[in-house]
DNA sequence: ATGAAAGCGCTAACAG
DNA sequence: CTGTTAGCGCTTTCAT
């Protein structure tokens, strides 16, 4: 079962009594061609709604105009707003620029879907939605010399290996946000996070540290607890910190934040009265939470579009920004001011 | 910027001193070839890790081994578990069977991403994740004679137009589930839903009606309210129904159900004491809700895999089931028994 | 059982 | 400015 064949460049050329080359040139705009014939060709193409065959073009140009987007398979089980938003933005942006996006699901070590997609040369490049300290996929791409872009910065050891490394100003944002929320009170503060293997969390922590330094808050007195990956571990950690007198909780992501709120409320603490909470990542959920949570906002879709755009420009041998850096918004709400 | 060229079938043929034809045959298994030479070729291919170029293969065969997956753009703003789960399952299944999946985002009338993907013949077929009463995309596909598969049944007017129309036994499930939850009490019941334009909702309603008929519950006394697309409309409807004496709420999907629970609790009603709730669609959220909600479970990933598998078999001219029908599970929990 | 040759539909030197 | 020609890497008759 195959799709019925459609017009070819030859059909157009024959109808017009010109050569295929002329038609090809009229379409691509490359090479000399008179305005008159170009228009004649354009008209004929429109009339018949002729569209060049992508496979033939790919073969001739050694380019597919396809991108692979690597998504973590965790996404299946649980919604990850960042992944969902960036995926859509990338599909949109790629489409605008004439590219298609293929999805390759991966779990840590198993990137067989991506590998095969690369082996068969079905894509011109790859976009990674996460960056981690030791990334087998990034290494694969580097080893095979495949152009790739990342959402989020790569670890230092892979510096310069990606064609495009788009990021939000995580450090600057977390620095400014930390200063804003910490300045008001001297209550003891802790930072709660999950996986420091994610580069984004490393950057966020650096921003926080810089703020502490500037505010002369000694780091020894500000516990930093990672590995909070479920409600139980969150409860344990938070209760221990409460016993130590901690009253302000800076959460490195929205999930940790939601859990922390749950635990604090479960312990009968009122927010922001008895304890304060803030998040280094914002979501609708945090905005409509009770009380609304102060958070740092990064526009995921904007990041994705920038990365995709610059990457495609690079693939097209046009000028591009290899390190687009996007801003942030500080959103002070009731949970911590 | 292009990926560096790799080995071609010619390189392999030359190294082995055979013709390209032979190598091609050894790979595809088509045509006569001695076991001996096949093994020689295989060995050489493995040794050099040769992989045929997809573009060249596509051009020669007029097949891309790509599928387009059409996703609703609503998915960007809000997580839709069904979409997320089916997307992943389709990517996985397609990969297993040698295909890649391209994402095409669409909003009702605007399916330009899909159109261009089809125009350029970048895919062999299309998978639709939703079926609605008047579907411009389905019509486009039918008009252009593009093979497509659907998750969920098509409306009767498009009968037989899809190559594969995979569905859960919505009617049977909702019938059995309705009987199970309605049998216990004579309290007045209402059905709450959102958009009857979705075929799935039509089927669910039919199942419910059939159960009512069998239980001899007059339909005049069981209000059916659609158009519940946010908390506000839900509140309005539910409060009106409460005033009419309705105490049992059958919700056609998980979102409507969550809203209904919120409204009922907001009105100070205890569940299942004062009012009962059940859902024709299950999610983790409903399972962990307070109280846990009785719901009908359909395995979205299983549906997606079946649709994808049968569709690809059809594309490969193998035997296939054009209407896979999958089962359901009744999950009685505390909210209504 | 194997190979030679044509062709899939397009691009890109090279000529003119 | 336009056409001729030779590929791109693979499949597929048709011979042998």
pLDDT in tens, B146-169: 999 999 999 999 999 999 999 999
The larger pLDDT score, comparing residue A69 to residue A31, is at: A69
Which nucleotides of chain C have an atom under 7 angstroms from any protein CB? 1-5, 7-14
Sequence ranges of chain A with CATH classification 1.10.260.40 = 9-61
- Could you give the dihedral angle defined by the CA atoms of residues B252, B258, B260 and B265, in that order, rounded to the nearest 10 degrees? 150
Whole-number Å distance between alpha carbons of B324 and A261: 45
Q: A66-168+301-327, superfamily in CATH?
A: Response regulator (3.40.50.2300)
Asked if strand C contacts A244 at the CB level, meaning under 7 A, the answer is no
Q: What are the Cα distances from residue A295, in Å, to A167, A258, A292, B116?
A: 18, 12, 9, 40
How high does pLDDT run on average in chain B? 95
Asked if strand D contacts A30 at the CB level, meaning under 7 A, the answer is no
Q: How distant is the Cα of A271 from the closest Cα of chain B, in angstroms? A: 22
Query: pLDDT at residue A319 above 80?
Result: yes
Output phi, psi for A94, to 5 deg: -60, -45
- Could you give the dihedral angle defined by the CA atoms of residues A282, A284, A290 and A296, in that order, rounded to the nearest 10 degrees? 20
Whole-number Å distance between alpha carbons of B334 and B276: 9
B65: left (phi over 0), alpha (psi -120 to 50) or beta: left
Sheet of A100-106: strand order equals: A325-326, A164-168, A148-151, A125-128, A66-72, A100-106, B100-106, B66-72, B125-128, B148-151, B164-168, B325-326
- Reported as a single tens digit per residue, the pLDDT across B125-152 is 999 999 999 999 999 999 999 999 999 9
B186 touches chain A (CB under 8 A): no
Whole-number Å distance between alpha carbons of B50 and B68: 27
Residues of A in contact with B102 (CB under 8 A): 66, 100-103
Query: What pLDDT does A183 receive?
Result: 87
Using CB atoms and an 8 Å cut-off, which of residues 152-181 of chain B contact chain A?
Answer: 163
Cβ-Cβ contacts under 8 Å for A178 (sequence gap 6 or more): A207, A208, A210, A211, A212, A250
Q: What architecture is the A170-298+330-336 domain classified under in CATH?
A: 3-Layer(aba) Sandwich (3.40)
Output phi, psi for A233, to 5 deg: -65, -30
Q: Among B122, B124, B162, which would you mutate to test the A interface (most chain A Cβ atoms within 10 Å of its Cβ)? A: B122
Residues of A in contact with B113 (CB under 8 A): 91-92, 95
Whole-number Å distance between alpha carbons of A147 and A307: 13
Whole-number Å distance between alpha carbons of A214 and A218: 10
C1’ C15 / CA B40, Å? 45
A102 touches chain B (CB under 8 A): yes
Residues 53-92 of A with CB under 7 A from strand D: 56, 59-60, 62
| HEC string for chain B | CCCCCCCCHHHHHHHHCCCHHHHHHHHHCCCCCCHHHHHHHHHHHHHHCCCCCHHHHHHHHCCCCEEEEEEECHHHHCCCHHHHHHHHHHHHHHHHCCCEEEEEEEECCECHHHHHHHHCCCCCEEEECCCECCCHHHHHHHHHCCCEEEECCCCHHHCCCCCEEEEECHHHHHHHHHHHHHHCCCCCEEEECCCCCEHHHHHHHHHHHHHHHHHCCCHHHCCEECCCCCHHHHHHHHHHHHHCCCCEEEECCHHHHHHHHHHHHHCCCCCCCCCEEEECCCCHHHHCCCCCCEEEECCHHHHHHHHHHHHHHHHCCCCCCCCCEECCEEECCCCCC
- Reported as a single tens digit per residue, the pLDDT across B261-270 is 999 999 999 9
Query: pLDDT at residue B286 above 80?
Result: yes
Give the mean model confidence (pLDDT) for residues B197-201.
96
Q: Which of A79, A104, A124 sits opposite B3 (nearest CB)?
A: A124
- Reported as a single tens digit per residue, the pLDDT across B227-248 is 999 999 999 999 999 999 999 9
Size of interface A-B (CB pairs under 8 A): 141
A120 touches chain B (CB under 8 A): yes
Cβ-Cβ contacts under 8 Å for B181 (sequence gap 6 or more): B248, B250, B276, B278, B294, B332, B336, B337
Question: What's the CA angle centered on A15, arms A13 and A18, to 5 degrees?
Answer: 40
CB contact under 8 A, B100 and A122: yes
Q: What are the Cα distances from residue A260, in Å, to A294, B249, B285?
A: 13, 33, 19
B147 touches chain A (CB under 8 A): yes
A79 touches chain B (CB under 8 A): yes
- Reported as a single tens digit per residue, the pLDDT across A83-137 is 999 999 999 999 999 999 999 999 878 999 999 999 999 999 999 999 999 999 9
Q: What are the Cα distances from residue B270, in Å, to A225, B178, B252, B319, B333?
A: 39, 21, 21, 53, 15
B6 touches chain A (CB under 8 A): yes
Query: pLDDT at residue B178 above 90?
Result: yes
A96 touches chain B (CB under 8 A): no
Residues of B in contact with A315 (CB under 8 A): 1
- Quick check: A336 and A193 in contact, CB under 8 A? no
Asked if strand C contacts B9 at the CB level, meaning under 7 A, the answer is no
Asked if strand C contacts B170 at the CB level, meaning under 7 A, the answer is no
C1’ C15 / CA A45, Å? 27
Q: B9-61, superfamily in CATH?
A: lambda repressor-like DNA-binding domains (1.10.260.40)
Whole-number Å distance between alpha carbons of B133 and B69: 19
Tokens of A234: 């969150």
Residues of B in contact with A145 (CB under 8 A): 3-4
Which nucleotides of chain D have an atom under 7 angstroms from any protein CB? 1-5, 7-13
Give the mean model confidence (pLDDT) for residues B183-210.
95
- Reported as a single tens digit per residue, the pLDDT across B68-81 is 999 998 888 889 99
Looking at the C1' of nucleotide C11, which residue has the nearest alpha carbon? Answer: A60
Question: What's the CA angle centered on B78, arms B74 and B84, to 5 degrees?
Answer: 85
Whole-number Å distance between alpha carbons of A191 and A241: 10
Give the mean model confidence (pLDDT) for residues B120-124.
98
Long-range contacts of A39-48 (CB under 8 A, 24+ apart): A40/A16, A41/A12, A41/A16, A44/A12, A44/A15, A44/A16, A45/A12, A48/A7, A48/A11, A48/A12, A48/A15
Sequence ranges of chain B with CATH classification 3.40.50.2300 = 66-168+301-327, 170-298+330-336
CB contact under 8 A, B102 and A104: no
Residues of A in contact with B141 (CB under 8 A): none
Whole-number Å distance between alpha carbons of A224 and B307: 48
b/e sequence A238-271, b meaning 16+ C-beta within 10 Å? beebbeeebbbbbbbbbbbbbbbbebbeeeebeb
Minimum CA–C1' distance nucleotide for B57: D10
Using CB atoms and an 8 Å cut-off, which of residues 209-248 of chain B contact chain A?
Answer: none
CB contact under 8 A, B73 and A84: no
Whole-number Å distance between alpha carbons of B28 and B241: 64
Asked if strand C contacts A8 at the CB level, meaning under 7 A, the answer is yes
Give the mean model confidence (pLDDT) for residues B313-337.
96
**Residue tagged 């009617």 (tokens):** B171
- Quick check: A147 and A123 in contact, CB under 8 A? no
Inter-helix orientation angle A231-243/A254-266, to 10° = 60
Query: pLDDT at residue A337 above 90?
Result: no
Whole-number Å distance between alpha carbons of A58 and B55: 6
CB contact under 8 A, B54 and A120: yes
Give the mean model confidence (pLDDT) for residues B26-37.
91
Q: Which of B1, B55, B75 sits opposite A58 (nearest CB)?
A: B55
């Amino acid at each position: 079962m195959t799709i019925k064949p459609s017009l070819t460049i030859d059909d157009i050329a024959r109808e017009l009594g010109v050569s295929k080359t002329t038609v090809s040139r009229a379409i691509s705009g490359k090479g000399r061609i008179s305005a008159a014939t170009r228009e004649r060709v354009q008209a004929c193409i429109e009339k018949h709604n002729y569209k060049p065959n992508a496979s033939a073009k790919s073969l001739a140009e050694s380019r597919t105009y396809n991108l692979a987007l690597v998504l973590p398979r965790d996404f299946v089980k649980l919604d990850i707003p960042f992944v969902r938003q960036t995926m859509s933005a990338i599909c949109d942006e790629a489409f605008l620029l004439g590219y298609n996006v293929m999805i390759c699901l991966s779990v840590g070590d198993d990137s067989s879907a991506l590998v095969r997609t690369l082996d068969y040369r079905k894509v011109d490049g790859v976009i990674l939605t996460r960056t981690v300290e030791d990334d087998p996929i990034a290494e694969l791409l580097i080893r095979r010399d495949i152009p790739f872009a990342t959402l989020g910065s790569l670890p230092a050891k892979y510096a310069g290996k990606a064609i495009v490394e788009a990021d939000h100003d995580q450090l600057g944002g977390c620095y400014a946000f930390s200063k804003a929320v910490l300045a008001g009170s001297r209550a003891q503060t802790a930072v709660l996070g999950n996986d420091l293997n994610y580069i984004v969390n490393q950057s966020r922590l650096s921003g926080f540290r810089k703020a502490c330094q500037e505010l002369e808050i000694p780091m020894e007195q500000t516990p930093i607890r990672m590995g909070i990956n479920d409600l139980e571990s969150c409860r344990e950690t938070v209760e221990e910190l409460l016993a130590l007198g901690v009253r302000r909780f800076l959460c490195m992501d929205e999930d940790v934040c939601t859990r922390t709120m749950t635990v604090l409320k479960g312990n009968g603490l009122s927010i922001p009265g008895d304890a304060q909470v803030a998040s280094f990542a914002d979501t609708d959920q945090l905005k409509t939470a009770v009380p609304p949570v102060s958070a740092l906002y990064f526009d995921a879709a904007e990041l994705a579009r920038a990365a995709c755009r610059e990457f495609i420009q690079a693939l097209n041998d046009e000028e591009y920004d290899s390190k687009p850096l996007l801003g942030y918004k500080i959103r002070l709400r009731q949970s911590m001011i």
